[in-house]
């Protein structure tokens, strides 16, 4: 398999579609997660109202992000946390690395975090000989297999039980079994040891409450609780958009996130962490370091359309609902953020030059917008980015990392279309000419697979007819029929 990047989305997708194992793993995604989500949201009285409140809280935060960040930082520091600002991923990685080195630590545990995936923190630490142990079961599996997550919430969704059993047999040295209890038991045994030895715990953050300086981490396995409480030092990496104004806002988000993500009313664990431990006899880490990371977020903030990307709470509901993701899975996107939200965020993080395909990797069906708990208009964002791709203008996204590859033929085609379709005469004569020409390809009232020269001259027609018949142009257009009717 080739190196999967967002630049090669088309190739990645074709490979994914041919991967029988992957398609089996993805088959039940929509029904299981989509179905559980539906059941879970039915337990809330006013789901729509809740979504509106969540979005309003996010909009308020993003409109005054500087103020809320300042408040958050002030209160977190008061509670004993140390704050580090990172402009980009490289800086965030360096900060974490320096903190670990300064403590002479080498045994590290880590809980699941998209922010650290985004900046490839593990790779940066491994390059310095400091590999943290991933303690979320899914992430641990991925780490053992030397792969990347393929889903925001369920990182190993692409793997079958059998593959995991084989992986455990090879890496952990247990007898191959499909007994889930035995597999998780083995993982627990090994991870417990890592927890007990760990000197530094690394986590992400789901929400940072400005009013109290508290961070909230949601999870189901208890591993994040252990990661953030057992080691002497806790380092939490968070995007600057994770701040929310009030503690009571959590009421809204705690109802929305677990229901949207896994279809749970609430995750098994919610860790609320405010600073470090106060007295020697208290439990918890002695040091808490919060790494507040920008990494492209200020740029997203600067435009009213792209700003809504920052409202995302990383629930993954749009992935589960997306017909494209359901077919190709997460790796095809070549980014830690796959699916509809990934198609929107990735180009804004890594530049449209590398990710120009992603905004087009959608049928614009709107299923993502329908399930998004914070009402992000993902189709609107996709269209915004598509316009940036063709215009090469943009509020920074397109220009960043170099210009987008131009598409002269497509541009020409749309230019001609806009011109011809602006003239009823050209439009009509175009139809008449096409009607004359189509005789060469219409068989039994339809256009079957076209090949040869025509396929080369008209790639869209070839792409269409490879798997689908195309309808022939009607002998008379509606307008011709109408005109005749008016004459009578």
Partner 1 sequence: MRVSLFITCLIDQLWPSVGSSAVEVLRRAGCEVVFDERQTCCGQPAFNTGYRAEARRLARRFIEIFEEGGADYVVSPSGSCTAMAHHFHELFADDEAWRRRAEALAARTYEFGGFLVNVLKVEDVGASFKGRVTWHDACHGLRDLGLREEPRRLIRGVRGAEFVELANADSCCGFGGTFSVKYPEISVAILDNKIDAIEKAGVRAVVSGDASCLMQIGGRLTRNNSSVKTMHLAELLASRE
Contact region for partner 1 (CB under 8 A) — 7-15, 79-87, 224-232, 340-348? 7-15
d(C-alpha 318, C-alpha 287), whole Å: 36
Q: Which of 174, 383, 441, 455 binds partner 1 (CB under 8 A)?
A: 383
CB 203 within 8 A of CB 217: yes
Picking from 34, 44, 35, the residue whose alpha carbon sits closest to that of residue 253 is: 44
Work out which of 78, 411, 443, 456 binds partner 1, going by CB under 8 A: 411
Q: How far is the CB of 462 from partner 1 (least distance, A)?
A: 9
Which lies closer to partner 1 via its Cβ, residue 150 or residue 194? 150
Counting contacts by CB under 8 A, is residue 131 touching partner 1?
Answer: no
**Listed residue (272, 346, 292) closest to 65, CA to CA:** 292
The correct pick among 105, 269, 327, 455 for binding partner 1 (CB under 8 A) is 327
Residue 436 near partner 1 by CB under 8 A: no
236 binds partner 1 (CB under 8 A): no
Binding mask 348-367 for partner 1 (x = CB under 8 A): -----------xxxxxxxxx
| Nearer residue to partner 1 within complex by CB, 25 or 121 | 25
Using the minimum distance from each CB to partner 1, give the nearer residue, 456 or 482.
Answer: 482
Instruction: Please report whether residue 405 would count as binding partner 1 according to CB under 8 A.
Output: no
**Residue with smaller CB distance to partner 1, 3 or 425:** 425
Residue number with CB closer to partner 1 (133 or 367): 367
Taking CB under 8 A as the binding criterion, the range among 87-95, 269-277, 342-350, 421-429 that sits at the site for partner 1 is: 421-429
If the CB atoms of residues 248 and 438 are measured against partner 1, the closer one turns out to be: 438
Contact call for residue 388 and partner 1 (CB under 8 A): yes
The residue from 20, 181, 418, 453 that contacts partner 1 (CB under 8 A) is 418
Stretch that binds partner 1, among 68-76, 136-144, 157-165, 385-393 (CB under 8 A): 385-393
Q: Is the dihedral of CA 425, 431, 432, 433 positive or negative?
A: positive
Q: Is 429 in the site for partner 1 (CB under 8 A)?
A: no
Binding site for partner 1 (CB under 8 A): 10, 13-14, 17, 30, 323-324, 326-328, 359-367, 369-370, 380, 383, 385-391, 410-411, 414-415, 417-418, 421-422, 424, 427, 431, 446, 448, 459-460, 463-464, 466-474, 476-483
């Amino acid at each position: 398999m080739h190196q999967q990047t967002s630049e090669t989305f088309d190739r990645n997708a074709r490979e994914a579609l041919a991967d029988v194992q992957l398609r089996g793993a993805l088959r039940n995604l929509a029904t299981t997660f989509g179905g559980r989500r539906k059941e879970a949201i039915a337990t809330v009285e006013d789901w729509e109202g809740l979504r509106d409140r969540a979005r309003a809280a996010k909009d308020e935060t993003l409109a005054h992000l500087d103020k809320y960040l300042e408040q958050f930082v002030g209160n977190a520091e008061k509670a004993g946390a140390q704050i580090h600002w990172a402009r980009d991923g490289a800086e965030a990685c360096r900060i974490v690395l320096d903190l670990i080195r300064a403590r002479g630590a080498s045994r590290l545990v880590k809980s699941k975090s998209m922010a650290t995936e985004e900046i490839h923190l593990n790779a940066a630490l491994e390059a310095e000989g400091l590999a943290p142990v991933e303690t979320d079961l899914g992430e641990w599996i991925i780490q053992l297999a030397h792969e990347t997550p393929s889903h925001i919430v369920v990182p190993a969704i692409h793997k079958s039980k059998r593959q995991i059993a084989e992986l455990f047999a090879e890496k952990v040295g247990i007898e191959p079994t499909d007994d889930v209890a035995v597999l998780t038991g083995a993982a627990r045994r090994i991870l417990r040891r890592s927890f007990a030895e760990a000197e530094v715990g690394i986590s992400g953050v789901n929400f940072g409450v400005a009013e109290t300086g508290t961070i909230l981490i949601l999870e189901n396995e208890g591993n994040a609780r252990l990661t953030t409480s057992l080691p002497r030092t806790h380092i939490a990496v968070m995007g600057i958009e994770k701040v929310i104004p009030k503690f009571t806002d959590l009421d809204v988000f705690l109802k929305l996130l677990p229901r949207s993500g896994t279809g749970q009313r609430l995750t098994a664990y919610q860790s609320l962490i405010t600073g470090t431990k106060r007295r020697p006899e208290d439990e918890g880490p002695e040091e808490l370091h919060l790494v507040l990371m920008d990494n492209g977020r200020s740029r997203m903030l600067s435009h009213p359309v792209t700003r809504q990307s920052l409202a995302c709470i990383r629930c993954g509901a749009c992935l589960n609902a997306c017909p494209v993701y359901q077919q190709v899975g997460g790796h095809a996107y070549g980014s830690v953020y796959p699916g509809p939200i990934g198609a929107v965020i990735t180009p804004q993080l890594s530049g449209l030059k590398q990710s120009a395909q992603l905004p087009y990797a959608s049928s614009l069906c709107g299923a993502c917008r329908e399930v998004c708990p914070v009402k992000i208009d993902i189709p609107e964002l996709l269209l915004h980015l598509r316009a940036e791709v063709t215009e090469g203008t943009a509020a920074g996204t397109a220009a960043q990392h170099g210009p987008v590859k131009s598409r002269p033929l497509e541009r020409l085609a749309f230019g001609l279309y806009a011109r011809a379709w602006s003239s009823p005469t050209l439009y009509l004569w175009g139809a008449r000419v096409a009607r004359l020409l189509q005789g060469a390809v219409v068989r039994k009232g339809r256009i079957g697979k076209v090949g040869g020269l025509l396929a080369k001259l008209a790639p869209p027609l070839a792409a269409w007819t490879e798997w689908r018949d195309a309808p022939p142009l009607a002998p008379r257009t509606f307008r011709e029929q109408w005109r005749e009717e008016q004459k009578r």
